[in-house]
A = this chain, B = another copy of it.
Amino acid sequence: MTKKFFDSAALTDLPQRYRAQLINCLSGYKSANLIGTADAHGTTNLSMVSSVVHLGANPPLLGMVMRPPSVPRDTYENILETGFFTVNHVHWGIHEQAHQTSARYPKEVSEFDAVGLTPEFKYDFHAPFVKESHVQLACVLKEDVHISWNDTRFLIAEIVQVHVPESIVQEDGHLALEQTELCAVIGLDSYTKATQSVRLPYAKP
């Protein structure tokens, strides 16, 4: 395939929106998750996040990038205020509602109501799960790392509850997520799902 080349100067010179589209595509497929929170008064919030990343299995940790808090960020503020949030997988049946949560609703409007998803409270966890999601995680904030280069935050959290469909749990603990029509994100606005997958054996020299 004939390649197009951008160096640092070319990237800097790109129009802002073009650069945002391009650079957001460069990491490859991104995970599609809905983050559920509630403030101290119980007002719920839901936001689409494509930056959840595995950090470790023991203890079970994940990381999540949050945009600069220079404009109101209800999700980030609720997490700092309470320490709790949920991670809910986005599947093909709810990807349009998930994307719609990225619209800027006023703080008093819950994105659950606005986009038509159902908050689910269970096991005494403060933050709401998304009832329609097949895989749901309850998380507790451990650390809020400030990335000085662009004022983003990298939140580190421990997974304290896991809810997964029984039918996709394999004998060795692997999850056949493609059976849930799990979505991936490309760039800012492209959603995709995989229909087949292959497992490879543990690699040895």
Contact = CB atoms under 8 A, between A and B. Distances in A.
Interface string A41-81: 00000000011111111111111010000000000000000
Task: Please state the number of chain copies in the assembly.
Answer: 2
- Name, among A89, A102, A137, A174, the residue most crowded by chain B CB atoms within 10 Å (CB to CB): A174
Q: Classify chain A: how many residues form its interface, as a range.
A: 35 or more
Nearest to A157: B149
Given A184-B194, A187-B174, A189-B199, A51 B51 contact: no
Interface in A73-116: 87, 89-90, 95-96, 99-105, 109, 114
Given A154-B154, A161-B5, A166-B2, A22 B205 contact: no
Given A192-B197, A196-B192, A159 B23 contact: yes
Contacts of A198: 190-192
Interface in A98-144: 99-105, 109, 114, 123, 134-137, 142-143
Contact of A57 (B24, B114, B123): B24
- Name, among A2, A109, A187, the residue most crowded by chain B CB atoms within 10 Å (CB to CB): A187
Given A182-B28, A186-B177, A162 B60 contact: no
A180 B65 CA distance: 27
- Name, among A16, A27, A114, A170, the residue most crowded by chain B CB atoms within 10 Å (CB to CB): A27
A5 B162 contact: yes
B4 A164 contact: yes
22 contacts: A1-B134, A1-B166, A1-B180, A6-B162, A7-B160, A8-B160, A11-B60, A12-B59, A21-B173, A22-B174, A27-B53, A29-B31, A29-B183, A53-B53, A56-B150, A59-B150, A101-B203, A143-B148, A147-B156, A174-B186, A184-B194, A191-B198
